[in-house]
A = this chain, B = another copy of it.
């Protein structure tokens, strides 16, 4: 689909996504979103009644993009180690294809965690199932005794943080070379998987 064939609504959503991620909800300007989308400011209000509604639309879109690939893995019928490996790789793939999501969600976590929690619930994201599975694996001695909550948060940390903190890490470790850091993030899929698996092997 060429740039011109995009509906106005699509152009708005994409522009809004860019600006909201860069500036956050409060820092974003409707004018800038309109400019970025190549349309008039009033049209934003025509399609979405308010800034808040536009933000929510972008937000839901981000969540939806983000989820489908993940849920399949969690409920699939493979070993814990395969599951962890697959999850980490798939999860990082999704994050790399939507690198704006981490900061977007972190900002929303501060702004209104309850609303975010409900969006997650709607999407069927709950830790219960995987928590139980880790517990069983620990009981069976398949993985080392670590509180499953810590394990989950470790995995999330290792995947999310390097993307959220990208501008600084890229500057510090790669003299601000985007291609080099991208390469680093690609390697990271295997590195994190190894790291976690080594850490929890009995």
Interface set of A (CB-CB < 8 Å, partner B): 21-27, 103, 105-107, 109-111, 113-114, 116-117, 120, 126-127, 144, 146-147, 149-150, 152-154, 156-158, 160-162, 164-169, 171-173, 184, 187-188, 191-192, 194-196, 198-201
A108 to chain B, nearest CB (A): 9
Whether A109 and B168, one on each chain, are in contact in the complex, defined by CB atoms closer than 8 angstroms, is: yes
Task: Given A156-B161, A168-B117, verify A184-B22 contact (CB < 8 Å).
Answer: no
A158 interface neighbour in B117, B157, B200, Cβ under 8 Å: B157
Apart from the given pairs A26-B26, A110-B167, A127-B173, 11 other A-B contacts in the complex at a CB distance below 8 Å:
A22-B110, A23-B26, A27-B27, A103-B110, A106-B165, A109-B168, A113-B167, A144-B198, A153-B169, A154-B158, A198-B201
Most buried by B among A23, A110, A169: A110
The number of times this chain is found in the oligomer is 2
The 6 A-B pairs of least Cβ separation, nearest first, read: A26-B27, A157-B161, A113-B167, A199-B199, A26-B26, A157-B157
